[in-house]
Structures are given as structure tokens and as C-alpha cells.
Amino acid sequence: MEISSSLELDIKPRWSLVYLAALCLFLCTCFPAEAFDPLDPNGNITIKWDVMSWTADGYVALVTMFNYQQYRHIEAPGWNLGWHWAKKEVIWNMQGAQATMQGDCSKFHGNIPHCCKPDPTIVDLLPGVPYSQQSANCCRGGVLGSFAQDPANSAASFQVIVGNAGTSNTTVVLPKNFTLSTPGPGYTCGPAKKVKQSLFPSPDGRRHTQALMTWNVTCAYSQFLAQRAPTCCVSFSSFYQEAIVPCRTCACNCKPNITQPLLSTQPLCVDPTDALTMPTTPPLVNGASSIIRNQPVPALLYCSEDMCPIQIHWHVKVNYQQYWRAKVTITNRHVKNYTLWNLVVQHPNFNNLTESFSFTYKPLSAYGTINDTAMFWGIKYYNDMLMAAGPEGNVQSEILLQKDSRFTFGQGWAFPHRILFNGDECVLPPPDSYPSLPNAASKLRVLTSFLVMSILVLCVLAAIL
């Protein structure tokens, strides 16, 4: 065992670096100059409009959304796509999606458009709609998979028939002010840009047809814009230290005070000991241990000091000669199933991750700039769904890492620098609280008690003799 070597000497300067890094991270996540994620530098959602044919008063377009983000997906209730028409366009018909509001179509007689709003909002159709309303890659209730985890479901498309529009590539004016919401904020979209017309291969690939006109819109995510409270926190433990480092108090929110009148900003939570009676809709009267506020809330949470729906626990489990092993547990404290969850972990030893036993693992190093970050997700039909809070509400895996030259159990090195759950940054414990090695001070204590014991024994012996 090499853990008792003296590693405590330069802790202070290192910790101040960690503090500085944490501060930078904080500032970066709070005041980003633009939506840019260093862990996924090319992540974006690109919306492509292909004008497929002209009509008497406009065109038929195929609109496709591509989620190029490695680990950020769009969950139910799904995406909302909006824009402003540049002229007085209307949507005659849609296939594979629908406008949420028809708007004022009172000017029309006979044929009534699908939507007359100058700023339509489009949502996906739900699974199982009649075939006649579908289009390729549609009808998944707005769920969009991430590029690394679920590439087959990372694109969505719909067809739109636009009227009152131009009927040639010189008279069509591109829509403006694209917005993408999920349905909360978080994405900002750039302007539509005319690009090279798309090619569409025939099924046998021997012929390509070409769009009449194509434009692209790129949308990027920023956690700052999303302005969401954190949704997950991290706790630590290790084989060399008995104490567990819990999640930060108030990491996601502060635990409501039962004796105080409840503030509307406080989330509803239920005592974990009431697990079996955890309701799926907010109860109307509060008992001794369930806390209720008047406003309805979408889902319930177990009460905890951190009030996070998701807890990630990192346990440094075994030390081998050349390898070490950590165990990662994700616990759900939410009355909600997380389908296709994913975890992004940054740790300096991830350039040498050898095996992940029960999670799928992919290094996020596609661009060669980062080699310390990995993405994990569940194995299909085994643990790809993180079940709602309760005895089944957790997934776990052990990971085996080959020690690299920097390896140490000191200075909290064995703990990750950054963790994201479903693309949201998780709150780490304060840097000075990481499990520390049994250190010089405790060695001194052992030595002192040994000396005291020896003197006592000597005294007793002297008294007897």
C-alpha cells in the first residue's frame, strides 16, 4: 500500500489552485461570453430548410433538425421551434409536426391554412399518429437523442407547405428570429444562412436529387441562459477514509423549514421515510413529514439537505499495483424516470480508463483537445432508464483505471473535477472537504498515543514490581 507515503506537504498551494479553478468555473458558467461548452466545442443543433418544390403561391420545404451535441438531449415534453416570417407567409399544411396555434386566419375563404401566425411555434407530433400525418424522423413527441448516445434519434424532420411566399430562389425571404426551447430557455439560434443546396440520394444511391434552395440555422446551448438551479450534486467517499463527504448543503435548493410558512420558491419535497407513500401528484394537506406548497409542481422530490433530484456518488474503491477502481452510483430522488440518462465526468486519469463494467463508455476526445473527459450512459434494456426514486431508483458501475504517472490518492486527485448529468453541471463538494489520506497529524496522534500507552504500561509494571 502506497497510500501512507507523505503526500500532504504541498496541499495548501494546490488547494488554492483548486479554489481558483472552481472560481473560474463558476464565473465561466455564470457569465459566459457566448454559448460555448469546452467539453463539447462543436455541439449545436442545426436546423436545415430544404425547399423541395415550388407551389402556386410558395413552396414545400423539408425542415430537419440535427442534434450534434455529444451529450445533451431533449427530453419530453420535447422541442418547440419558432421563427418570424419575413413577409405575410402562412402555413398551408404540415406533415410530421404541427403549429401550436392556428392564429387569425379570418382573411381566408375556402381553404383555411394550418397556421396564419406571423411567429409560428412548431411542436413534434406524438408517437402513434396516423401514417398520413407522418414524415421521416418524426413523431417522437419532440424527444431528440444526443449525437454520441442515441445517434439514430438525433434528427427530427417535418414537411411544411408555405403560402404567400416567394416562388423562386430570388423572391423567397428567409424566416427570421429562430428560437428553440425545450420548452424552457437555454438555446440561442443564429440567423438563417443560405447554403449550398442539399443533395438527396435515391435509395440505390445511383442518383441524387437536389433541393431548390437550402438554408441553415445553428442553435447553441448555454446553461447560463437556461438559468436553471442545479439539478444534481456529487458526494465522495474512499476506502482510505471512513467519513463520507456528502453533497453540499443547499446545492440545488435549501430544505424547506416545516415550521415556517412555505415560500413559493421552495420546492415540494417528501421525507424519504415516507417513500412507500410517495404520491405522484401533490397531496392537498400536509402531514408531519410531507411538505406542501400551494402551487402545483410538476414532480415531487425526496427531502434532503441538498434538495437535488439527482445525486452522484463517487467512491474510490480499490487500490491495485497498476490500477485503481472507482464506483459510481447515480441515485434518483425524483418521482420521474430518466430515460436515456447520461453522465459526463472529467478526471485527469480518464486518458487511461481501462474498463467501465455496467455503463457504456465513450471518451469525449473527438476533437483531440480534451482527453480527460468521458461520457457514460446505461446499457440498453439493462440500466438505460434511471427509475423513479425508491429502491430501484439508482444505477451504478465500477470503472477500472490504469494509473498514470501523476497518480496519487493525495490532494483529492482520485476525485473528478467536473460532473454533468444529462448535460447539467453537478455541484461538487467544497474542495477542502475531499476525503484526505490518513495524514501526518494522525500519524503523530498514533505515535503520541503509543508513547502514552507505553508510559502507562511502564508505570503499571513499576507499581506491580
Ligand X SMILES: *[C@@H]1O[C@H](CO)[C@@H](O)[C@H](O)[C@H]1NC(C)=O
Binding site for ligand X (CB under 6 A): 42, 44, 46, 48, 66, 68, 84, 86, 169-170, 176-177, 195, 216, 218, 257, 259-260, 335-337, 351-352, 371, 387-388, 402, 404-405
CB of 67 to ligand X, least distance (A): 10
* Complex with ligand X: residue 166 or 435, whichever CB lies closer: 166
Cα separation, 378 vs 188, in Å, equals: 29
180 DSSP β-pair partners: 81
Farthest CA pair distance, the chain:
118
CA triple 417-303-294, angle to 5 deg = 125
CB of 130 to ligand X, least distance (A): 26
CB of 195 to ligand X, least distance (A): 4
For residue 42, give every residue at least 6 positions away whose Cβ sits within 8 Å of its Cβ, in sequence order, or none.
68, 367
* Complex with ligand X: residue 14 or 255, whichever CB lies closer: 255
* Complex with ligand X: residue 169 or 394, whichever CB lies closer: 169
CB of 258 to ligand X, least distance (A): 7
* Complex with ligand X: residue 66 or 187, whichever CB lies closer: 66
* Complex with ligand X: residue 102 or 169, whichever CB lies closer: 169
Q: CB under 8 Å, gap of 24 or more: what pairs does 449-456 form? A: none
CB of 168 to ligand X, least distance (A): 7
Torsion (CA) 104, 107, 110, 112 in degrees, nearest 10: -20
CB of 346 to ligand X, least distance (A): 12
The owner of cell 439560434 is 189
Cα separation, 363 vs 351, in Å, equals: 8
Cα separation, 343 vs 359, in Å, equals: 10
Name the residue among 34, 29, 36 with its Cα closest to residue 426: 29
Cα separation, 76 vs 350, in Å, equals: 32
CB of 44 to ligand X, least distance (A): 4
Cα separation, 309 vs 232, in Å, equals: 6
Cα separation, 31 vs 15, in Å, equals: 24
CB of 119 to ligand X, least distance (A): 7
* Complex with ligand X: residue 122 or 234, whichever CB lies closer: 122
* Complex with ligand X: residue 18 or 370, whichever CB lies closer: 370
* Complex with ligand X: residue 202 or 260, whichever CB lies closer: 260
Name the residue among 137, 159, 179 with its Cα closest to residue 59: 159
Say if residues 203 and 136 touch (Cβ distance below 8 Å): no
For residue 387, give every residue at least 6 positions away whose Cβ sits within 8 Å of its Cβ, in sequence order, or none.
332, 337, 393
- Quote the cell numbers at residue 317: 474503491
* Complex with ligand X: residue 234 or 269, whichever CB lies closer: 269
* CA-CA-CA-CA torsion sign (354, 358, 362, 363): negative
CB of 431 to ligand X, least distance (A): 21
